Amino acid sequence: MQVIKTQAKEIFTKTKLPGSDWAINQYVGCEHNCSYCYAKFMSRWKKHGKWGSWVEVKINAPELVKNRLVDGWIFMSSVSDAYQPIEKKLKLTRKILENLDKRSQISILTKSNLVTRDIDLIKQFKKAEIGFTINSFKGKEKELFEPSSPTSEERIEALKKLHENGITTYAFVSPIVPGLIDIEDIIAKTKDCADYYWFEMMNLRGAGKEFIDLLKTKYPKSYKILQDKNLLNKYIEELKYVIKKSKIRTKGIEIH
């Protein structure tokens, strides 16, 4: 893994992501190396090689948040995972949480159970919520789609721990690939520890040609549903029924 250390001029970036006003990206690039990652577009400007093989580290990020209080929700992170493996060594995210004004409103979305390390700091904030990207990928699918990330079981256990500590939690069920994601099973396993849910259908365009070719070759039935408007609409209606039947709180279904 190539690590590129940089100095940032600013760390708060305005964002149009739902429910957030600002984004903090102390890392750019991600060791989880998910084949469908929507942040791969960053490689157009970052000439470090194949996405997943490098991480840019803004080493002065903790200093840039000191004595700053921005209005609105702060999201970590939009082009990386704040708790990817390198965080265990560098503790950049932890240092940012230490330095952030505790009146801040923070939202962190991750795939890593490493976030539980920082429960002590997260609990100090005026408002804080932690979300986990959760899906049913395991075995062959996990190896193909999310080779270097913690398992869904590890994420759910971390979600439970955060919930038990009184922290607001949510499940970001994504990417939803028809035939490969068991929505009812995910809801059953997280219903008691997720305060609310986001659901997101697979965004083929965002995932890029390499992933599209992979899905088309390995899982042609799933690809066909995502490509066929009528089949996709039918699947979404079935998904809505499952959600309604489960009586969970949801912020919506993102369809691209």
In CATH, the architecture of 2-254 is Alpha-Beta Horseshoe (3.80)
Mean pLDDT of 22-29: 96
Please report the pLDDT score of residue 39 as a whole number: 80
Cis check: omega of the bond before 77, within 30 degrees of 0: yes
pTM over 0.75: yes
96-143: pLDDT as tens digits: 999 999 999 999 999 999 999 999 999 999 999 999 999 989 999 999
Convert the pLDDT of each residue in 148-165 to its tens digit: 999 999 999 999 999 999
Number of neighbouring beta carbons within 10 Å of residue 12: 15
Q: Residue 1: its pLDDT value, please?
A: 81
Instruction: Provide the pLDDT for residue 47.
Output: 72
How far apart CA 116 and CA 165 sit, in angstroms, is 10
Contact 8, 58 (CB under 8 A): yes
- The DSSP secondary structure of the chain, one letter per residue, reads -EEEEE--S--EEE--STT-SEEE-SEES-TT--TT-GGGGGGGT--SSSTTSEEEEETTHHHHTTT---SSEEEE-SSS-TTSTHHHHH-HHHHHHHHS-TTSEEEEEES-GGGGGGHHHHTTSSEEEEEEEE----THHHHHH-TTS--HHHHHHHHHHHHHTT-EEEEEEEEE-TTT--HHHHHHHHTTT-SEEEEEE--HHHH-HHHHHHHHHH-HHHHHHHH-HHHHHHHHHHHHHHHHHHT--EEEEE--
Domain boundaries, the chain: 2-254
Average pLDDT, the chain: 94
Q: Report whether pLDDT(218) > 90.
A: yes
Residue pLDDT, tens place only, 172-199: 999 999 999 999 999 999 999 999 999 9
pLDDT band at residue 246 under the 50/70/90 scheme: very high
Q: How confident is the model at residue 53 (pLDDT cuts 50, 70, 90)?
A: confident
**Which residues 6+ apart lie within 8 Å of 59 measured at CB?**
5, 6, 7, 92
- In this prediction, residue 180 carries a pLDDT of 95
Residue 256, pLDDT score: 67
